[in-house]
């Protein structure tokens, strides 16, 4: 076959495309276990950070198991339909750690079925209730964890993350100057769930949101901050019945 013919060029190009596809697929399959392990470590590191524990990829799993009281999956009534504790399943057959929050929120909107993950951890004798959150920012998804103190009302810490918010503006939701504003804020007011709102212009300059239930927005990041407000309300409302119980 003439190497300069169209047929030869087509066949050669096709073989190269197939070869590259095979190589990339093989590499992806080979790296997938490592990628999943990294995701798990990152998740445990973020959960630990909300109770004041620093961890890394080498010790995340050990520390997580040490500080974990239990993982639970709760339904609409606030009942525990899944419990993982002491290294084993005690109720149900699915760990809260493996729940895909985006899918769980989609199920709520689609069918009303509530099966939300909650992490109960303990540090220095205090119990923390950690609620994962997921929502939409200006350019893409935003997410994080909210750790409540043992009263199941007062925020001990929050961690946030994003995929594509604007550097120097919305991307600052991950930084301590913003996340620290949530410490000691409350999600209930007079026994009713109100969540925590991120207030444009500052909490002190308005009357709609009480100081205990609001934080100051990041200047120039209105849409991202609105996304944080909606994310917190939309996610945490599913835990109200559980939080009001004497667990």
What pLDDT score was predicted for residue 21? 76
What pLDDT score was predicted for residue 40? 94
pLDDT tens digits, 181-236:
999 999 999 999 999 999 999 999 999 999 999 999 999 999 999 999 999 999 99
Q: What angle do CA 200, 166, 214 make, to 5 degrees?
A: 25
Considering only CA atoms, which of 131, 103, 115, 117 is closest in space to residue 72?
117
What pLDDT score was predicted for residue 97? 97
Average pLDDT for the chain: 92
Alpha carbon distance, N-terminus to C-terminus of the chain: 78
What pLDDT score was predicted for residue 150? 96
pTM to 2 decimal places? 0.86
What pLDDT score was predicted for residue 149? 97
Regions of the chain with pLDDT less than 50: none
Domain ranges of the chain: 46-243
């Amino acid at each position: 076959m003439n190497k300069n013919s169209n047929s030869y060029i087509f066949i050669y190009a096709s073989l190269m495309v197939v070869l590259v596809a095979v190589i990339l697929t093989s590499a992806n399959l080979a790296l997938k276990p490592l990628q999943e392990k990294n995701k798990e470590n990152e998740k445990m590191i973020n959960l630990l950070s909300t109770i004041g524990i620093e961890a890394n990829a080498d010790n995340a799993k050990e520390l997580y198991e040490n500080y974990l009281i239990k993982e639970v999956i709760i339904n609409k009534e606030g009942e525990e339909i899944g419990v993982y504790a002491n290294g084993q399943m005690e109720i149900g057959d699915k760990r809260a750690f493996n729940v895909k929050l985006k899918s769980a929120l989609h199920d709520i909107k689609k069918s009303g079925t509530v099966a939300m993950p909650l992490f109960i951890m303990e540090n220095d004798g205090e119990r923390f209730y950690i609620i994962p959150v997921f929502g939409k920012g200006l350019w893409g998804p935003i997410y994080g964890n909210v750790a409540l103190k043992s009263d199941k009302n007062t925020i001990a810490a929050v961690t946030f993350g994003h995929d594509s918010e604007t550097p120097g503006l919305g991307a600052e939701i991950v930084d301590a100057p913003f996340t620290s504003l949530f410490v000691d804020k409350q999600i209930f007011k007079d026994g009713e769930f109100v969540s925590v709102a991120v207030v444009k212009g500052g909490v002190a300059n308005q009357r709609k949101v009480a100081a205990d239930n609001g934080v100051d927005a990041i200047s120039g990041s209105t849409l991202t901050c609105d996304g944080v407000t909606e994310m917190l309300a939309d996610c945490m409302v599913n835990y109200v019945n559980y939080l009001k119980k004497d667990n």
